[in-house]
Amino acid sequence: MASAMTTTTREATTVTLQNGDVFSFESNQATELDLIPTIDASRIWSEKLEDRQAVANEIRTASRDIGFFYLTNHGIDEKYAEGALTQAKRFFALPEEKKMEVFTGLVPNEYVGYHPMKCYNRNGWKHQDLSEAFNWAYDPGEDPDAVEGCEPSASIWPSDLPGFREGLYAYHTQLLRLARRLTRIFALALQLPENSFGEYVRKPEAGMRILHYPEQTHSIDDQNGIGAHTDVECFTMVTQDEAGGLEVLSKSGTWVKAKPIPGSLVSY
């Protein structure tokens, strides 16, 4: 789901953000330079305000300079990410007809379910984006801090994949706890009271998705795994396996590879 509009010309592709800012790039070619900062998040759980503020200052600098950062030592046991990745591999290995039983089009006006291969082409390349995804929504029943009045989840699940839903929500719940803490850190980064955003995350959207990107056979400027875009929520946290593939666009219009760092989350 993107909040950016892309326009392709002969010279470049432009990405127009919701705030009107426009960025452009001439190629999908990415640099190997280590431009994305790594932030040790362990102090976000500290009882000392100065510790939390120190992390907030690092996040403010990273957000201002490039807009992306790695979070390490964030407090989530790696077993939850590994469990979710295992469930992702199980789902994407299913026959196409089984995956289509939870096709996203079966739930109108909701961003849940299976998104098949080659559904999108955000940047107008020669070939459709080569990726498939499964999305699910926030479920108050899986949130230990849920409040009354939350809408029930509209997610749909495969009927014959035992442990799939449980494995994904186990990780989702951990990420939700981290996300709520990060909203406090972001407030500090903006020099606001730490609880400024608390009321907005009591009934969160907090959607989540797993994605599969097969090996591409076309030129990098003829096809994307997923086209250039921005996300629509407050912020995003990305878990990568060893294959990697995530790239971020720098202010100069150069794509930068977000190489996998074990145990980390890429946040933006």
pLDDT tens string 159-210: 999 999 999 999 999 999 999 999 999 999 999 999 999 988 888 888 999 9
Question: What type of residue sits at position 17?
Answer: L
* Residue scoring higher pLDDT (266 or 8): 266
pLDDT above 80 (res 123) = no
Instruction: Kindly list the distances between the CA atom of residue 24 and the CA atoms of 21, 234, 250, 256, 268, in Å, as whole numbers in the listed order.
Output: 10, 23, 10, 14, 19
- Model confidence at 226, pLDDT cuts 50, 70, 90, reads confident
Tell which residue, 158, 140, 157, has the closest CA to residue 149: 140
Mean pLDDT, all residues of the chain = 85
Q: Please, what are the domains in the chain?
A: 5-267 (2.60.120.330)
Please state, in angstroms and rounded to a whole number, the distance separating the CA atoms of residues 20 and 5: 10
Q: What is the mean pLDDT of residues 213-235?
A: 70
Q: Is the pLDDT of residue 219 over 90?
A: no
Polymer length of the chain: 268
Token code pair at residue 49 = 């305000």
pLDDT > 70 fraction of the chain, expressed in percent and rounded: 79
Higher pLDDT, 125 or 210: 210
Residue 28's pLDDT is: 61
**What integer pLDDT is reported at residue 162 of this predicted model?**
96
SS (H, E, C) 142-189: HCCCCCCCCCCCCCCCCCCCCCHHHHHHHHHHHHHHHHHHHHHHHHHH
> What is the band of 232 on the pLDDT scale with cuts at 50, 70, 90?
confident
H or E element at residue 38: strand 38-40
Percent of the chain with pLDDT over 90: 55
How many other C-beta atoms can be found within 10 angstroms of the C-beta atom of residue 115? 21
Q: Are 152 and 140 within 8 A, CB to CB?
A: yes
Contact 212, 92 (CB under 8 A): yes
Mean of pLDDT values over 243-254:
81
Q: What is the pTM of this model?
A: 0.84
Residue range 243-256: average pLDDT?
82
pLDDT over threshold 80, residue 237: yes
**pLDDT per residue as tens digits for the range 58-116:** 999 999 988 899 999 999 999 999 999 999 999 999 999 999 999 999 998 888 999 98
